[in-house]
């Protein structure tokens, strides 16, 4: 990270990555992966940046300004875009709780597929075995995980209802896999989640949190009129969510 400080004690910074992703928030919360190498500007320099267009998300005190989404007909890219800008989604499991055993159960989960600017396409989670959904996937690892463009300000700026087809949504089906401590993937999940959800590092160790991922088997995207599209996983993982030539001005 290269840092251009305007003065001592200025805690508010703006980062701009080579992909044109803008990140803004308190310096103490911008726990970024060391290989991202964005430019850092302090709040004293924000005035010279001016108004920045794009799509904004906010989580844990960190605001991110993303490039606009890819064209709707580039479905694999749109799917990867939604995955990477999403900070949370809805996970649906087959319930094990006695009063609703076997019925669907939906729950909110924080998610990351990589540190900002390093998308992997694979959703990673930080879960406690005490959580109601984690108990479900211990019994049956099959889950469905949904994310929506509505969690950013894109749909609001365009007056799109969250249920409108043009307010894109992504649904991933697959199996939850608990990651092994000491593995490279477990370290990547740690960096992916803690860099984008800084509060997680303060969660109590006594709750036995662990890192998990969704092994994707089916991918469904609705981003335009005409119904959802099922995207082959090979196309999904080959796609790049951002235009490499588009930078924040």
Which of 25, 46, 66 marks a domain boundary? 66
Regarding whether 120 and 61 lie in a shared domain, the answer is no
Residue 62 burial (10 A CB sphere; 0-12, 13-18, 19+): buried
Contact 120, 188 (CB under 8 A): yes
| Other Cβ atoms closer than 10 A to 181 | 10
Regarding whether 55 and 87 lie in a shared domain, the answer is no
Regarding whether 100 and 167 lie in a shared domain, the answer is yes
Which contacts (CB < 8 Å, 24+ apart) does range 136-142 have?
A: 136/93, 136/94, 136/95, 136/96, 136/105, 137/93, 137/176, 139/94, 139/96, 140/93, 140/94, 140/96, 141/175, 141/176, 141/177, 142/93, 142/94, 142/173, 142/174, 142/175
Mean local confidence (pLDDT), 40-52? 34
Transcribe 78-143 into DSSP letters: HHHHHHHH-SEEEEEEE--SGGGTTSEEEEEEE-BSSSTT---S--EEEE-TTSHHHHHHHH--EE
**Short-list 216, 221, 160, 211, CA closest to 182:** 211
Regarding whether 107 and 14 lie in a shared domain, the answer is no
248 domain-assigned: no
Transcribe 60-93 into DSSP letters: TTEEEEEPPPPPTT-HHHHHHHHHHH-SEEEEEE
Specify the pLDDT at position 38: 38
- Reported as type and span, the H/E element at residue 156 is helix 154-157
223 domain-assigned: yes
Phi first, then psi: what are they for 58, rounded to 5°? Answer: -145, 130
Range of the domain at 13: 2-66
Residue 31 — pLDDT band, cuts 50, 70, 90?
A: low
171 domain-assigned: yes
Residue 27 — pLDDT band, cuts 50, 70, 90?
A: low
Regarding whether 126 and 223 lie in a shared domain, the answer is yes
Regarding whether 95 and 61 lie in a shared domain, the answer is no
Regarding whether 83 and 127 lie in a shared domain, the answer is yes
Regarding whether 163 and 117 lie in a shared domain, the answer is yes
Per the structure, the count of domains in the chain is: 2
Mean local confidence (pLDDT), 62-81? 95
Which of 45, 66, 87 marks a domain boundary? 66
Regarding whether 117 and 213 lie in a shared domain, the answer is yes
For the record, the structure tokens of 206 come out as: 């006594």
Regarding whether 152 and 134 lie in a shared domain, the answer is yes
Of residues 182 and 249, which shows the higher confidence score? 182
**CATH, residue 126:** 2.30.110.10
Regarding whether 165 and 212 lie in a shared domain, the answer is yes
pLDDT in tens, 109-128: 999 999 999 999 999 999 99
244 domain-assigned: no
Q: How large a percentage of the chain has pLDDT more than 90?
A: 72
178 domain-assigned: yes
Regarding whether 62 and 97 lie in a shared domain, the answer is no
Specify the pLDDT at position 248: 29
Mean local confidence (pLDDT), 2-21? 50
Q: Exposed e or buried b for every residue in 187-201, given b needs 16+ CB within 10 A?
A: ebbbbbbbbbbbebe
């Amino acid at each position: 990270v290269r840092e251009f400080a305007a003065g001592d004690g200025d805690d508010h910074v703006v980062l701009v990555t080579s992909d044109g992703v803008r990140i803004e928030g308190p310096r103490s919360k911008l726990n970024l992966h060391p290989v991202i190498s964005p430019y850092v500007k302090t709040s004293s320099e924000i005035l010279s940046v001016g108004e920045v267009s794009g799509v904004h998300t906010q989580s844990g005190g960190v605001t991110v300004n993303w490039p606009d989404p890819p064209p709707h007909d580039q479905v694999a890219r749109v799917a990867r875009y939604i995955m990477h800008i999403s900070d949370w989604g809805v996970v649906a499991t087959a319930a094990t709780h006695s009063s609703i055993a076997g019925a669907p159960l939906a729950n909110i989960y924080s998610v990351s597929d990589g540190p900002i600017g390093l998308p992997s396409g694979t959703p990673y989670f930080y879960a406690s075995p005490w959580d109601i959904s984690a108990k479900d996937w211990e019994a049956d690892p099959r889950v469905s995980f949904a994310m929506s463009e509505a969690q950013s300000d894109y749909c609001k700026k365009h007056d799109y209802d969250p249920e409108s087809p043009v307010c894109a949504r992504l649904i991933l089906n697959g199996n939850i896999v608990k990651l092994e401590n000491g593995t490279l993937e477990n370290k990547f999940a740690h960096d992916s989640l803690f860099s984008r959800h800084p509060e997680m590092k303060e969660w109590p160790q006594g709750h036995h949190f662990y890192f998990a991922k969704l092994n994707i088997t089916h991918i469904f995207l609705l981003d335009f009129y005409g119904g959802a599209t099922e995207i082959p996983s090979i196309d999904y993982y080959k796609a790049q969510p951002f235009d490499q030539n588009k930078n924040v001005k």
